[in-house]
């Protein structure tokens, strides 16, 4: 303990009223649980309800593993003095704190990077427009390159590399702290720009492809939740720029660490949210918040349908959830009684959001079979050409 300490001899850092390590640990436990539940629901929807598991789900699973490990280190650091004044922390614990801090920094780059890549892997489900896909690939490359560069700068900022896990000392051969601060600031600024792009791209393609309606506003609102990631990134960047990390680092960890954890997990949540819409509609129906799970016409059949409702032409998953032949969910709210609608999005066979508007063509085939007893059997088959 520092001889000039403002606390009485023998004071334990977790006994001080301003110790925030316990609160930070509880927050991370809650974040792990919430993120885990969202991932489980996402995989259930994609794997069992819509039969449309994809690369984006794999990347999201990897992101969850990384951000969970990151939160695990934060929980562990509470026992090493995180959230306490450095003068109260014994030297052995202080060494463990900086070891964990280096691991946290390295994990952070991949946590937020994989969050963004998971969203980018989802976007091709919306549209196969060449310009749109080109933008997705360019941003994906930029996210990956910036993640790799920052990761290796942090990893090799000291010589030898193992010194990066030691407390910052004047005798170490490491990059100046000012250079590291500039790198973290640059990564934070790029992250905010990437998050704005990830929020704008789906809104742009939906606005471009869909007719302006209440449904359009609902879909845009789904992707607008990304604004929360932008906000957490801005707050974290503010603290990075205004806090002197070289002084009382352990105590300031409780502030910067919280916003770092929130940025990683909130980014993960926003990436999962669009894929949860099928189960949200199902739950809303069971709670009575929707009059029907789907609004396929159930009244008097039209001449077009030959007695078959539109719903009968759709394949249903277990539990009655509607999906098309490729396994991607079909939102029946956008069909009318004549089985046609204005062309809004490209084919739903390939795109997640194609369900929000499509020209449908339904062909009904009637086969009459007569045997020697003049008995007539009739069989009707119907396919929805989506």
- Over 80: is that where the pLDDT of 297 sits? no
| Of residues 364 and 337, more confidently modeled | 364
Cα–Cα distances in angstroms (integers) from residue 171 to residues 2, 68, 101, 166, 247, in the given order: 20, 34, 19, 11, 17
Indicate if 90 and 183 belong to the same structural domain: yes
Residue 287 lies in a domain: no
Distance between CA atoms of residues 33 and 27, nearest Å: 10
Last residue of a domain, which of 247, 281, 315? 281
Indicate if 266 and 125 belong to the same structural domain: yes
Question: Nearest CA to 154 among 143, 145, 165?
Answer: 165
Question: Average of pLDDT values for 201-209?
Answer: 81
Residue 7 lies in a domain: no
Q: What length does the chain have?
A: 386
Confidence category of residue 31, pLDDT binned at 50, 70, 90: very high
* Whole-number pLDDT of residue 71: 94
Indicate if 145 and 221 belong to the same structural domain: yes
Distance between CA atoms of residues 334 and 215, nearest Å: 9
Cα–Cα distances in angstroms (integers) from residue 353 to residues 13, 15, 21, in the given order: 53, 53, 43
Indicate if 162 and 265 belong to the same structural domain: yes
Indicate if 380 and 236 belong to the same structural domain: no
Confidence category of residue 197, pLDDT binned at 50, 70, 90: very high
Question: Nearest CA to 322 among 276, 281, 361?
Answer: 281
Indicate if 17 and 133 belong to the same structural domain: yes
Residue 286 lies in a domain: no
Confidence category of residue 145, pLDDT binned at 50, 70, 90: very high
Lowest mean pLDDT among 118-127, 181-190, 351-360: 351-360
Indicate if 170 and 226 belong to the same structural domain: yes
- Over 70: is that where the pLDDT of 381 sits? no
Residue 8 lies in a domain: no
Domains held by the chain: number: 2
Last residue of a domain, which of 246, 281, 316? 281
- Over 50: is that where the pLDDT of 112 sits? yes
Question: Average of pLDDT values for 109-128?
Answer: 93
* Whole-number pLDDT of residue 267: 92
Q: What's phi and psi for 25, nearest 5 deg?
A: -65, -45
Residue 173 lies in a domain: yes
| Of residues 356 and 143, more confidently modeled | 143
Question: Average of pLDDT values for 346-354?
Answer: 47
Lowest mean pLDDT among 109-123, 137-151, 333-347: 333-347
Mean pLDDT for the chain?
77
Last residue of a domain, which of 281, 301, 328? 281
Residue 4 lies in a domain: no
The predicted model scores a pTM of: 0.74
Indicate if 211 and 317 belong to the same structural domain: no
96 lies in which domain range?
Answer: 13-281
Residue 3 lies in a domain: no
Do residues 302 and 337 lie in contact, with contact meaning Cβ atoms separated by under 8 Å?
yes
* Whole-number pLDDT of residue 293: 59
Indicate if 297 and 276 belong to the same structural domain: no
Confidence category of residue 16, pLDDT binned at 50, 70, 90: confident
Residue 6 lies in a domain: no
* Whole-number pLDDT of residue 231: 93
Indicate if 139 and 261 belong to the same structural domain: yes
Indicate if 67 and 141 belong to the same structural domain: yes
- Over 50: is that where the pLDDT of 327 sits? no
């Amino acid at each position: 303990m520092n001889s000039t300490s403002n606390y009485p001899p023998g004071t334990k850092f977790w006994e001080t009223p301003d110790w925030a390590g316990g609160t930070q640990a509880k927050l991370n436990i809650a974040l792990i649980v919430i993120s885990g539940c969202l991932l489980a629901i996402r995989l259930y929807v994609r794997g069992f309800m819509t039969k449309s598991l994809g690369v984006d789900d794999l990347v999201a699973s990897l992101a969850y593993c990384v951000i969970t490990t990151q939160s695990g280190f934060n929980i562990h650091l509470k026992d090493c003095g995180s959230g306490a004044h450095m003068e109260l922390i014994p030297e052995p614990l202080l060494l463990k704190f900086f070891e964990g801090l280096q691991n946290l920094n390295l994990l952070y780059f991949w946590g937020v990077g994989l969050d963004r890549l998971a969203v980018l892997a989802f976007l091709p489900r919306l549209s196969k427009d060449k310009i749109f896909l080109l933008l997705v690939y360019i941003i994906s490359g930029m996210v990956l390159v910036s993640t790799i560069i920052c990761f290796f700068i942090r990893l090799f900022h000291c010589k030898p590399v193992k010194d990066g896990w030691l407390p910052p000392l004047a005798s170490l051969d490491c990059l100046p702290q000012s250079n590291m601060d500039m790198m973290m600031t640059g990564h934070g600024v790029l992250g905010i720009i990437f998050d704005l792009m990830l929020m704008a791209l789906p809104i742009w393609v939906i606005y471009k492809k869909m007719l302006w309606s209440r449904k359009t506003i609902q879909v845009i609102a789904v992707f607008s939740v990304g604004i929360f990631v932008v906000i957490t990134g801005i707050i974290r960047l503010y603290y990075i720029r205004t806090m002197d990390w070289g002084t009382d680092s352990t105590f300031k960890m409780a502030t910067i660490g919280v916003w770092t954890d929130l940025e990683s997990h909130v980014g993960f949540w926003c990436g999962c949210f669009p894929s949860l819409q099928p189960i949200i509609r199902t739950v809303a129906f069971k709670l009575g918040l929707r009059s029907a799970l789907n609004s396929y016409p159930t009244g008097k059949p039209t001449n077009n349908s030959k007695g078959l409702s539109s719903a009968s032409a759709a394949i249903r998953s277990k539990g009655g959830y509607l999906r098309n032949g490729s396994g991607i969910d079909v939102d029946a709210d956008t069909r009318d009684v004549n089985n046609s609608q204005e062309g809004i999005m490209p084919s739903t066979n390939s795109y997640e959001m194609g369900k929000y508007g499509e020209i449908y063509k339904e062909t009904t085939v009637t086969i009459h079979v007569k045997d020697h007893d003049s008995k007539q059997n009739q069989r009707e088959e119907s396919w929805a050409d989506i």
